[in-house]
Amino acid sequence: MLPSIVNLDIVLRDQVDHLTIAEFHKLLDAADRKLGTLQRSSIRNAYVRDRNKILMITMWATGGRVSDVLSIHESDIDFEEKTIKFFVSKRKKWHTISLDSDTTLRLSNYIRTWNISGLLFQSINGSKKAMIRQSVNYMLDDYAQIAGIRSIHPHLFRHGLATYLLSKGVPMEIIAYRLKHASTRTTAAFYARVTPDIERQLISACVPDILGMS
């Protein structure tokens, strides 16, 4: 299924900056590499590695704003139904979305391994309080340097998921729901732009032999 382009004026605007799927995987790999470079790989460092990886996975998989993701509790995950809910502070409403099997399993393993109760992403000072946004910014800067990529900030995950789903042909209505946009117009205004992947899919579907040599 190819993405539908709803408005040519929208398409011709500049592409929104976003985290690519390749960059996302490089950040996850950087978390493992960071642990390997530490002189003493303590239990505390292993926990930080696992917490940070699951945080990045949850930010990508949900498309949630970082402040909303940091507020998620382990009780907000329904492992039988494979759903997760979080409070969207901008809308002042709870929002429930589906989880894929891989993300569900990773969350389950993280919670069981580290005996997580309450907030999913806790600071490491023993207070059981949530990580703060500044800590996430520092983490992403650190991992981006290790990965050898550009500087990354949390909102690029949200833009990245939307662009990735659009490139895979997910309908605008589904993307709008996942991001908790007020309407599909909001989603289209940000993300209904041609990317190289979308261009490739559309051209190859319509013109398999662009050189006309077969």
One domain for residues 67 and 122: yes
One domain for residues 140 and 180: no
Q: Could you report the per-residue pLDDT of 125-181, keeping only the tens digit for each?
A: 666 889 999 999 999 999 999 999 999 999 999 999 988 888 787 888 888 889 887
Domain membership flag for residue 168 = yes
pLDDT for 30 equals 98
* The token pair that represents 174 in the structure block: 């589904």
Domain membership flag for residue 46 = yes
Question: Is pLDDT of 73 > 90?
Answer: yes
pLDDT for 7 equals 43
One domain for residues 157 and 143: no
One domain for residues 28 and 124: yes
Of 130, 151, 172, the residue that ends a domain is 151
Domain membership flag for residue 210 = no
One domain for residues 80 and 168: no
* The token pair that represents 38 in the structure block: 């530490």
One domain for residues 7 and 96: no
Domain membership flag for residue 211 = no
Closest by alpha carbon to 168, among 140, 201, 205?
A: 201
One domain for residues 2 and 47: no
- Read off the pLDDT of each residue in 73-77 and give the average, rounded to a whole number: 97
**CATH code, 126:** 1.10.443.10
Give the count of domains, the chain: 2
- Read off the pLDDT of each residue in 59-86 and give the average, rounded to a whole number: 96
One domain for residues 38 and 86: yes
Backbone angles phi, psi at 130, to 5 degrees: -70, 155
One domain for residues 47 and 117: yes
pLDDT for 191 equals 61
One domain for residues 128 and 194: no
One domain for residues 2 and 63: no
Q: Is 170 left (phi over 0), alpha (psi -120 to 50) or beta?
A: beta
One domain for residues 92 and 146: yes
Determine the Cα–Cα distance for residues 3 and 82; give it in Å rounded to an integer: 26
- Read off the pLDDT of each residue in 77-84 and give the average, rounded to a whole number: 96
By CB atoms closer than 10 A (0-12, 13-18, 19+), residue 107 is buried
Backbone angles phi, psi at 98, to 5 degrees: -80, 155
Which range marks the domain in which residue 112 is found?
21-151
Domain membership flag for residue 101 = yes
Domain membership flag for residue 212 = no
Domain membership flag for residue 48 = yes
Of 151, 169, 184, the residue that ends a domain is 151
Closest by alpha carbon to 84, among 46, 102, 58?
A: 58
**Cα–Cα separations (whole angstroms), residue 100 to 46, 84, 145, 206:** 25, 10, 29, 31
Q: Are 212 and 30 in contact (CB under 8 A)?
A: no
pTM: 0.82
Q: Give the distance from CA 166 to its chain's centroid.
A: 14
